Amino acid sequence: MRRSRIYAEAVAKKEENGKFAAMKQRDDTSFIRSLIAEGEHVRQDFKFEVSDSRKIARSLSAFANTEGGRLLIGVKDNGRIAGVRSEEEMYMVEAAAKVYCDPEVEVEMRVYRPEGRSVLIASVEPAPRKPVMVKEEGGRKLAYVRIADENILASPVHIGVWRCEADNGRGGSAGRMSQSLGYGVPGSVYETSGSGHRVSDSWSRQDPVSVTFTEQERELLAVIAAASGSTSRQFAQSGLPAACSSSDASAPGPFCPAFSGSAALPVSSSGLTLSQICRRVTIPRRRVIHLLSLFVHWGLVGIRHDSRGFLYYAND
């Protein structure tokens, strides 16, 4: 009698576990399907499998240097769930994060079982310290950014902007300049609308002050403004945004942000590549990169990306 009762309890427990497993599979399928329906975008990428940890490191770098994101591993580009060997894939992702990323990237990994197959989700938060570089073959270290659904090699100006942010945090030259201008210097964030970037709207307004540009700064700003089709003749001639140079004490002062956080990105601006800018000015390339980094950091210049590469335009 006792043996029969134990057997009945075991059968009941097995049925309960089976029902739980079936319910979990339905829930996992629904969740993964909802993510797949979003498609690939700035914060999500599909990977059929992990065959090369270095390639995965490029995705981790791009996510960490931009807005963060997640990899759905075991999902084909067309959205079909193929499944993976989860333990092996987790090992490869961990190698990508710890061995090929500098600094190391923290990755949260979780396995789901949609339709009876294993899908690994590897999630990355924006890096607190940028850039996150990838150790490429030959000892090179390169950084990537995420634009739309692609991982793009970061430009020298991106590297410069990140250095400005770090310098600002240490109270360095960018920080001192922001204090002299009367505005807080924002961090950089990236926006995929029209494959463009914009500087964060986290400006802290103080009392405006007067600023004098150097000849090199005026030359560079004027070239960018003219090529961007800027409607501000004063900006094109003097390197100052017209909206920021009013003599009215109640008006925004020099170096005010050229747009609010809710403003649409001017993706129609033509802009110039770094090489085009260098050919149009009398300034050494390294100095151009440095000044562009500062201008992007301050919000005077924006960056967008198209088939020609990264383009720099005046924030009117």
- Tell me, which fold does domain 38-152 have in CATH? 3.30.950
pLDDT score recorded for residue 105: 98
CA distance 203 to 149: 29
pLDDT score recorded for residue 247: 33
pTM higher than 0.85: no
Residue 159 or residue 184, greater confidence = 159
Share of the chain above pLDDT 70, in %: 66
Report the alpha-carbon angle 77-82-85, nearest 5: 120
Cβ contact 197:312 at 8 Å: no
Gyration radius from the chain CA atoms? 25
Average of per-residue pLDDT across 116-144: 96
Residue 149 or residue 20, greater confidence = 149
pLDDT score recorded for residue 315: 86
Q: Is 63 exposed, middle or buried (0-12, 13-18, 19+ CB in 10 A)?
A: buried
In sequence order, what DSSP letters do the residues of the chain get, joined into one string?
-HHHHHHHHHHHHHHHHHHHHHHHHHHHHHHHHHHHHH-SBTTEEEES----HHHHHHHHHHHHHTT-EEEEETB-TTS-B----HHHHHHHHHHHHHTSEES---EEEEEE-GGGS-EEEEEEPPPSSSPPEEE-GGG-EEEEEEETTEEEEPPHHHHHHHHHHHHHHTT-HHHHHHHHHTBPPPPEEE--GGGBEEE-S---B---------HHHHHHHHHHHHHTT-S-HHHHHHSS-GGG--S-TTS--TT--SS-TTSPP-TT---B-HHHHHHHSSS-HHHHHHHHHHHHHHTSEEEEEETTEEEEEE--
**Stretch among 41-55, 154-168, 181-195 having the lowest mean pLDDT:** 181-195
What would the pLDDT profile of 223-247 be if each residue is shown by its tens digit?
999 987 765 444 544 444 433 333 3
How is the chain split into domains, by residue range?
38-152, 155-314
What would the pLDDT profile of 174-210 be if each residue is shown by its tens digit?
443 333 333 333 333 333 334 444 434 344 445 555 5
pLDDT score recorded for residue 289: 98
How many CB atoms are closer than 10 A to CB 117? 18
Share of the chain above pLDDT 90, in %: 58
pLDDT score recorded for residue 166: 85
Mark residue 252 as left, alpha or beta (left: phi above 0; alpha: psi -120 to 50; beta: remaining). Answer: beta
> How many residues are present in the chain?
316
> In the chain, what is the straight-line distance between the N-terminal and C-terminal CA atoms, in Å?
87
Identify the band that residue 3 occupies on the pLDDT scale cut at 50, 70 and 90. low
Average of per-residue pLDDT across 112-118: 93
CA distance 284 to 288: 6
CA distance 58 to 100: 9
pLDDT score recorded for residue 49: 93
**Stretch among 16-30, 77-91, 278-292 having the lowest mean pLDDT:** 16-30
pLDDT score recorded for residue 21: 55
pLDDT score recorded for residue 38: 97
Which residues, at least 6 apart from 216, have a Cβ–Cβ distance to it below 8 Å?
Answer: 283, 287, 291
Which residues, at least 6 apart from 312, have a Cβ–Cβ distance to it below 8 Å?
Answer: 157, 224, 271, 272, 273, 274, 277, 292, 296, 301, 302, 303
Cβ contact 241:313 at 8 Å: no
User: What's the mean per-residue pLDDT of the chain?
Assistant: 77
